[in-house]
Amino acid sequence: MRKRLEVIATTPEDAMIAEQAGADRIELIAAQQEGGLTPSLGIIEYITETVHIPVNVMVRPHSRHFRYDHAELNSMIRDIRHISRTGAAAIVTGVLTEDGQIDTNALERLLEAADGKPFTFHRAFDELDNLERGLDILSHYPQITHILTSGGQPSVLQAVDQMIVLNRLAIQYPIQLIAGAGLTLQSLADFVTHTSIKEVHLGSAVRIHSDINLALDPARVAQAQQLLQASI
């Protein structure tokens, strides 16, 4: 299986740079400084009509936590219905209960709203007290094809052993892990070689001067892809 590089885009400029520099997939978000929120429908439509690589779209109404009240959940359902009618490849979201478990009732409503569109369960996953159990729960939903995770740590580089365990378990399911948070160009090849992770997610590491507030750097995106494919 070919390794895949997913990069964060927040603007049409980012999306075009990502495609031209060789990224395999885009995660489209707003408010990167807040960890990513739902982008506008206009941006989603424009980017999915402009680039030819898959565009996964974040659905997250606020950055305070991953628990959503009735009104917030209904707004997410409406967003997903709209996004599913665009050229978006997948929805990126995650929902937790008050006690920090996967909110399966809310999740099932979001999945239904997508009318079959694939999902990535995002880093809400990292707040679970049992990641292996969480992986098993999510594996029961065929629409959920990916989990974006840092192995329960602020940086995935602090969770190498956990990522090895999770990846071995994920191989048994029809679900793919995406390693994200904390990866740098300097650490990328060793991390992928050691963990056997096939998909990685980069944000500031592929931006100009590694600055989250600046645009994507095409040279860094291209270098990340080269390092990824060259890793054992």
CA 121 from chain center: how many Å?
Answer: 7
Q: For residue 140, what are the domain limits?
A: 4-230
pLDDT at 16: 97
pLDDT at 44: 97
Kindly provide the b/e burial profile for residues 183-213, where b requires at least 16 CB atoms within 10 angstroms of the residue's own CB: beeeebbebbeebebbbbbbbbbbbeeeeee
Show pLDDT as tens, one digit a residue, over the chain (232 residues). Answer: 789 999 999 999 999 999 999 999 999 999 888 888 999 999 999 999 999 999 999 999 999 999 999 999 999 999 999 999 999 999 999 999 999 999 999 999 999 999 899 999 999 999 999 999 999 999 999 999 999 999 999 999 999 999 999 999 998 888 999 999 999 999 999 999 999 999 999 999 999 999 988 999 999 999 999 999 998 7
pLDDT at 78: 97
Residue 140 DSSP class: T
Contacts of 211 (CB under 8 A, 6+ apart): 204
CATH code where residue 21 lies: 3.20.20.380
Rounded Cα distance, 217 and 229, in Å: 19
The CA distances from residue 188 to 83, 165, 178, 184, 227, in Å, are 32, 18, 13, 6, 7
In the chain, the number of structural domains is 1
